[in-house]
Amino acid sequence: RRLARCCTSESHPLYGTFMAKLSSCIFEWDTDDYERLLAAKREELVVDGITNPSASAMQKALSKQELQKHCRRCTRGTEETVEAIESLLPSTLLGSFLGHQPVLSTTMPTYWMA
C-alpha cells in the first residue's frame, strides 16, 4: 500500500503494469500446486496429440485463469521480496519515457525506507 500511494496517478498508462510487477515481487504461486497443474497440462497436451511437450510449451499453454483457479498464491520470504522490489524500483523512478511522467513520485524513496 505504501508504494501504491507513491504512484503519480492511477490513470498513468503504466500504473497497471507497475502494480502487476509489484504483485509478482511480493507473491508467488505455490510450488506444489504449480507442479501438479503442469503435470495435468502435460497430460492434456499429450491427449491433444503433442507427444512430448517441453517445459516451455506447457508453461505457455497455462492460462492466467487456470493458475488462479488451481494454484494458491503465497508470499515470498522477506529478503526475496525486498530484493525483488528494489530491483523493480529503479526502472519506475527513471525520468519520463514515452512522453509520460514517471509512474512513481519523487517522494517514493522516503516511503520505501520508512
Of 17 and 80, the structure prediction assigns the larger pLDDT to 80
**Whole-structure pTM value:** 0.68
Positive or negative, the Cα torsion across 54, 27, 65, 33? positive
pLDDT 10s digits, 6-52: 666 666 777 788 888 889 999 999 999 999 999 999 999 999 998 88
Instruction: Show the cell assigned to 104.
Output: 512513481
Contact of 22 with 88, CB cutoff 8 Å? yes
pLDDT 10s digits, 91-111: 665 545 555 666 666 666 566
